[in-house]
Structure 1
Amino acid sequence: MDLEAVRTFAAVAEAGQFQKAAVDLSLTQQAVSKRIATLERALGVRLFARTPRGAEPTIDGQAFLPHARELLRVAERAAASVRVGRRPLRVDVLSSRGATAGLMRGFHGAHPEVDLDVLMLFDIDRAIEALRTGSIDATFRAVGAPGRPLPEDLACARVLDEPLQLMTGPGHALAGEKSVTVADLVGHRIWMPGVTPGTEWAAYYEDLVAAFGLTIEATGPNFGADALLDTVADTPALATLMGAYARIVWPAGHGLRLIPVVDPVPVYPHSLLWHRDNPHPALATLREHLATAAPAPGAAGTWVPPWTPVVD
């Protein structure tokens, strides 16, 4: 149904005259008459009766009027849902427990006026396609991995370097250490079943292994963080690596240890990606917030893969 014809019908019904409706709509009276005639043909009924006082809705016109107004309200809501500045800012974070989810919680706390949708897209290719189609406004990723060049229409800013920590159970050989060097980890089994081949975090850990000769195992099904913590707590020979800003809680009886890794400090580089032509006004607000919300990335004494974006 032609919404402009419906809008014209509602305007005539409100004004009571074709001429006044034409003025209200900035149209000629002939154009108004033509739209009403087209709508009447489409519906197969007469909508107005001409009277000395102007135009009055017929019985069919009176029946159609509330539906016409609802059609116009729905059309306005549909347009508002995608209108720049009216729809929520849509941001992809990889995990609800991860560091970038924490960044978004901080952003929401600092800018409660920004309507926000937080999504979790597992695959980086899917996230990039969503940026390019406008399904999301931004995504947090570790970009630059070999074979994953960033498309030219996307922009990137490194916003957070997250230090890795060693997590062990109480019976592990390193459980009593206040800190461990990367060299101290050589020969120890580090179990990380969530390292999925082909992901950007898999590329990160592959480079970490190659650079320092570590042993990282991704064997077995990934039953999630709780199962990982249970296994590490009960297995003295196993440890895992955990981001320092991850929100992880475990039962007190587990006796788990979180030990800083130093010399150098391996950090996971989180970057914000967005489309260069994205006009959402809250996107600039988010970028400004992230520029000061966390310690500046690229600190001395840290390690990142060679493909990590350079800090501006």
Structure 2
Amino acid sequence: MHPISQLYAVGMTDLRQLRALTAVVDEGTFTDAAIALRTSQASVSRAVADLERDLGVRLLLRTSRGARPTVLGRRVAEHARRVLAEVAIIERLAEQRSDQLRVGFAWSVFGRLTTPIQRRWQADHGAVVFVQSNTPTAGLLEGEVELAVVRRPLPDARFETSLVGAEPRCAALAVDDPLARRRRLTLADLGRRAVAIDRATGTTSTELWPTGAGPSDLREVHGMEEWLTVVAAGEAVGITSRATADQFPHPGIRYRPVLDAPPIAVWLVWWRDDPPAGAGAFRELVCRLYADGS
């Protein structure tokens, strides 16, 4: 096995060795490396010697003035830095998990309820961070968050799904669209128009309309930004939850309620076998605010 490959097979089992090597390379002497690491010179020397023995190669040339890396030692130190940087990221992630709740969403969090929920949670429990991720699980499957807000069914047994509220639907239209002058709309008003849809995370489909009365064309988009751009340009109309209208006002768009469209259910989702510590309390808070509308 190549010595650098052995670094991952053997050396990574002891990060102390990698830190000692990079410190000596950076500082130039074992004494200065020990000061930087806040340990003893003997400990640094022993860690580097152990790493050299594990890899079966010489990494440092000891001199009367200190130490300098061999050619291979310099390359190993470069790889060691990358390993240590990744470990630091993992450690930061672990710290974040312990002191903050990360909640994913695709289109909107909770609309006008977002700020009250955020403030009440922070007052009683600590930080909550909302992370936008245009995936069906709003970043949960990808490991970006501990909880996710979704507005379409998620039939995956790996996830626990809890209904927390429902939101009325709104139409989104360009400001110069004739329909934007009206205060309320119906699905029939939007029939035979081009409608922007996001198949991955959106809540609009032709199933909203009776057979033969639906959109004349479906304009497929990918995510909130593209949807807003298409609607503002008048290339299509959109149908979304009122939370989107509350959370994403746009100077080129008017939102109007759609009276006969069914409401959109809102769920909280988390890993069934790894529920976050605050899942129950957060769910109760969200349900309470949806129930009283505050």
1:251-279 CA deviation, whole Å, 9 max, x = no partner? 6xx9x5734515xx621112222212335
Partner of 1:159: 164
Classify 1:217/1:290 alpha carbon distance in 2 versus 1 (closer, same or farther; 3 Å): farther
Partner of 1:216: 215
Q: Could you tell which deviates more after superposition, 134-143 or 279-288? A: 279-288
Partner of 2:88: 77
Query: What letter matches 1:261 in structure 2?
Result: L
Query: What letter matches 2:191 in structure 1?
Result: R
2-structure distance, mates of 1:270, 1:199: 13
Alignment of 1:144-155 (within 5 A): 144=153, 150-155=155-160
Partner of 1:267: 263
The share of aligned pairs that are identical, in percent, is 14
Q: CA deviation at 1:198?
A: 6.5
Classify 1:244/1:261 alpha carbon distance in 2 versus 1 (closer, same or farther; 3 Å): same
2-structure distance, mates of 1:167, 1:73: 48
Alignment of 1:1-312 (within 5 A): 2=11, 3-6=15-18, 13=34, 14=38, 16=40, 35=47, 37-41=49-53, 42-45=57-60, 59-60=66-67, 74=85, 77-83=88-94, 85-86=97-98, 89-95=101-107, 98=108, 100=110, 104-112=114-122, 113-114=126-127, 116=129, 118-121=131-134, 123-124=135-136, 127=137, 131-132=140-141, 134-144=143-153, 150-166=155-171, 171-172=178-179, 185-186=187-188, 189=191, 191=193, 193-197=195-199, 201-202=203-204, 205-210=205-210, 214-220=213-219, 224-225=227-228, 227-229=230-232, 231=234, 241-245=239-243, 246=245, 247-250=248-251, 258-259=256-257, 261=259, 266-278=262-274, 280-281=276-277, 283=279, 286-295=282-291
Classify 1:279/1:4 alpha carbon distance in 2 versus 1 (closer, same or farther; 3 Å): farther
Classify 1:133/1:170 alpha carbon distance in 2 versus 1 (closer, same or farther; 3 Å): closer
State whether residues 170 and 257 of structure 1, in contact with CA within 8 Å, keep that contact through their aligned partners in structure 2.
Answer: no
Query: What letter matches 1:143 in structure 2?
Result: R
What is the alpha-carbon root mean square deviation over aligned residues? 4.9
Classify 1:105/1:208 alpha carbon distance in 2 versus 1 (closer, same or farther; 3 Å): same
More helix by share: 2
Q: CA deviation at 1:195?
A: 1.7
Classify 1:217/1:152 alpha carbon distance in 2 versus 1 (closer, same or farther; 3 Å): same
Q: CA deviation at 1:283?
A: 4.8
Q: Between Structure 1 and Structure 2, whose CA radius of gyration is higher?
A: 1
Classify 1:294/1:218 alpha carbon distance in 2 versus 1 (closer, same or farther; 3 Å): farther
TM-score (norm 2): 0.58
Query: What letter matches 1:150 in structure 2?
Result: P
1:110-140 CA deviation, whole Å, 9 max, x = no partner? 445426251221x42xx37x53452432332
Query: What letter matches 2:90 in structure 1?
Result: A
The unaligned stretches of length 5 or more in structure 1 are 22-31, 50-57, 233-237, 298-312
State whether residues 87 and 115 of structure 1, in contact with CA within 8 Å, keep that contact through their aligned partners in structure 2.
Answer: no
State whether residues 40 and 47 of structure 1, in contact with CA within 8 Å, keep that contact through their aligned partners in structure 2.
Answer: no
